[in-house]
Amino acid sequence: MPRHFLRKLELYTHLSAADREALESAVGEKRRRVGPREDIVREGDHTGHVNLVLEGWACRYKQLEDGRRQIVALFVPGDLCDTHIDVLREMDHAIGTLTPATYAEVSRDTLGAIAARHPRIMQALWWDTLVSASIQREWTVNLGQRSASERLGHLLCELFLRLRGVGLTEGNHCVLPTTQADLADAMGLSTVHINRTLQDLRRAGLIVLKGRNLTIPDLAALQAASLFTPNYLHFDHIGRHLDAVEPVAV
Amino acid sequence: MPRHFLRKLELYTHLSAADREALESAVGEKRRRVGPREDIVREGDHTGHVNLVLEGWACRYKQLEDGRRQIVALFVPGDLCDTHIDVLREMDHAIGTLTPATYAEVSRDTLGAIAARHPRIMQALWWDTLVSASIQREWTVNLGQRSASERLGHLLCELFLRLRGVGLTEGNHCVLPTTQADLADAMGLSTVHINRTLQDLRRAGLIVLKGRNLTIPDLAALQAASLFTPNYLHFDHIGRHLDAVEPVAV
DNA sequence: CGGTCAGTTGAGAACTTTCAACATGGGTGG
DNA sequence: CCACCCATGTTGAAAGTTCTCAACTGACCG
């Protein structure tokens, strides 16, 4: 059932049937369904589990006292929120949904048990954690150095590749279920400017965005226009030395 | 010798004498001294060790093809660069010094051996890693939502508290050895604007900055002006349940 | 003494925000 | 079934912030 998550981990290494079963049963333990714009975790909480997004989109965000909000990470199906975060006393940020969503709560104990018994999974979770950190760094670059259109184009490239990594694209097309206000909070821009920047990208033929449907006619062109290089996503099967060798050949 | 690092870890938990010795000997293995503005790690490298800053300041940065540079993290004495990063194939960023610096190279094997034998250290390293990630998120908020003066004030608050955490402040005073150009690259602003913003902060009486010497006459005031809350640094001795109980009482 | 680096200043240009109005669409109650 | 409402997206114009360019200062070094 956590097929997007499994698919993502297999970008790093091939899992054995036993690995997959272990993850499936862990994810089956406790499942929740929530509406759009709901908090899953609030700032100040102390949670003892990890959340895995199964369907829908969510985000990690921080809010300033005066109401300004910054989305610091977007979560799409297959994304794991806050691995190991429970070493810290309390959450310094919140996690909320952008769309209706379902997610699995995996307890720390369950995750620890799996990691102990399945070293390949442990490595893959490590990889996932490090890639998340790398994405966070790239967002810092994005906000610090890129112009509005580069910034937005960069985000769309990243999301497209991440969605493709979990099997949620078709050809050069994917969904973009966020509102323009969500994009604004993620990019540190006003909604008005997001709107105009999207129009610029459309006018330049770099994207086709109708409603929640995004098409990127020429990904290489969008990447070039956004100074995007995919290396920071580390989608290069770098854990192949750990690949499971199944006993049964085809 | 890695006194700043030890002191930082003790913000989280108290280490035993054995813990401290293990860390000291690990850090003594290989020590390097480099000048200012030198790269310690280059983008594309594949390193098998972790670097611990002993003296001087360094940074993690990413550079765009057209030369724009974003500093995504600052390292002060006691900071550890890139724990566990070697799960990834190659570095997606570089690490360079800002000032002359000395650092210790700790091999992955050494670190792994310590972690296995000293669970308290392993937990403390985890805490350090998670705090670094938290700081990275806060920088994203900083670049996305705060105005130039809030942004710069926020950074100065953070640096002051981090330096205080490793014993490198005296009263309300510390060093700030970066150039304005470095600050600009870290804050996503131009050097000219950094210069003017520093003047604003000075004029408002929030900082006194002469050469490399920074004084913050009223930290609470600077925090308030910058919408700074220290919770994200997690300096709250949250690992106290792990505190070492020394067999010898004083 | 000349050169270089860091810091400072002025002025205009460019980018982004704010405010306010208007358009569109889906959903709800009458 | 229609009327209304609200969330989302769109547009215009003025204001505000930040950048760029260019010049100049002061300190340190060879």
pLDDT, tens digit (0-9, with 9 covering 90-100), for B99-158: 999 999 999 899 989 989 999 999 999 999 999 999 999 999 999 999 999 999 999 999
> Residues of chain A whose C-beta is under 8 A from some C-beta in B?
60, 62, 64-66, 68-70, 72-73, 84-85, 87-90, 92-93, 123, 126-127, 130-131, 133-134, 136-141, 143-146, 186-188, 227, 231-232, 234, 236, 238-239
> Which among A72, A145, A238 has CB closest to B89?
A238
Residues of B in contact with A138 (CB under 8 A): 62, 92
Report DSSP state, residue B237: -
Report DSSP state, residue A16: P
Is residue A84 within 8 Å of residue A129, measured between CB atoms? yes
Q: Strand C nucleotides below 7 A of a protein CB?
A: 5-11, 15-20
CA A151 / C1′ D3 distance in Å: 42
The answer to whether residue B188 is domain-embedded is yes
A145 touches strand C (CB under 7 A): no
Strand partners, B63: B69
Give me the B residues in range 188-247 that sit within 7 A (CB) of strand C: 191-192, 195-196, 198-199
* Of the listed ranges A114-123, A195-204, A238-247, the one predicted with least confidence: A238-247
Strand partners, A173: A170, A215
C-alpha distances out from residue A37 to A43, A51, A90, A117, A187, Å: 15, 16, 22, 37, 18
- Number of folded domains that form chain A: 1
The answer to whether residue A61 is domain-embedded is yes
CA B170 / C1′ D29 distance in Å: 31
Q: Which residue is nearest to nucleotide C5 (CA to C1')?
A: B179
pLDDT of residue B245: 83
pLDDT of residue B3: 93
Distance in angstroms (rounded) separating the CA atoms of residues A178 and A158: 15
pLDDT of residue A25: 94
The answer to whether residue B250 is domain-embedded is no
The answer to whether residue B249 is domain-embedded is no
Residues of B in contact with A139 (CB under 8 A): 140
Give the CATH number of the domain where residue A110 resides. Answer: 2.60.120.10
The answer to whether residue A248 is domain-embedded is no
Q: Where are the alpha helices (DSSP H) in chain A?
A: 3-9, 17-28, 108-117, 119-145, 148-165, 180-187, 191-203, 219-226
Confidence category of residue A250, pLDDT binned at 50, 70, 90 = very low
Long-range contacts of A220-226 (CB under 8 A, 24+ apart): A222/A153, A222/A156, A222/A157, A223/A157, A225/A149, A225/A150, A225/A153, A226/A146, A226/A149, A226/A150, A226/A151, A226/A152, A226/A153, A226/A154, A226/A156, A226/A157
Chain-centroid distance of CA B184 in Å reads 17
Is residue B166 within 8 Å of residue B77, measured between CB atoms? yes
> Count of CB atoms within 10 A of residue A93's CB?
25
The answer to whether residue B215 is domain-embedded is yes
The answer to whether residue A234 is domain-embedded is yes
Is residue A222 within 8 Å of residue A158, measured between CB atoms? no
**Nucleotide closest to A187 measured between CA and C1':** C16
The answer to whether residue B248 is domain-embedded is no
C-alpha distances out from residue B86 to A65, A137, B94, Å: 38, 17, 14
CA A91 / C1′ C15 distance in Å: 35
Is residue B141 within 8 Å of residue A186, measured between CB atoms? no
pLDDT of residue A85: 75
Q: Residue A69 and residue B134: Cβ atoms within 8 Å?
A: no
pLDDT per residue as tens digits for the range A196-240: 999 999 999 999 999 999 999 999 999 999 999 999 999 988 788
SS3 state of residue B215: strand
CA B143 / C1′ D29 distance in Å: 37
Assess whether pLDDT exceeds 60 at residue A248: no
Side chain identity, residue A75: F
Domain that includes residue A225, residue range: 3-242
Distance in angstroms (rounded) separating the CA atoms of residues A206 and B160: 44
Assess whether pLDDT exceeds 60 at residue A249: no
Mutate to test the interface with B, among A59, A60, A87, A193 (most CBs of B within 10 A): A87
* Residue ranges in chain B whose pLDDT is less than 50: 249-250
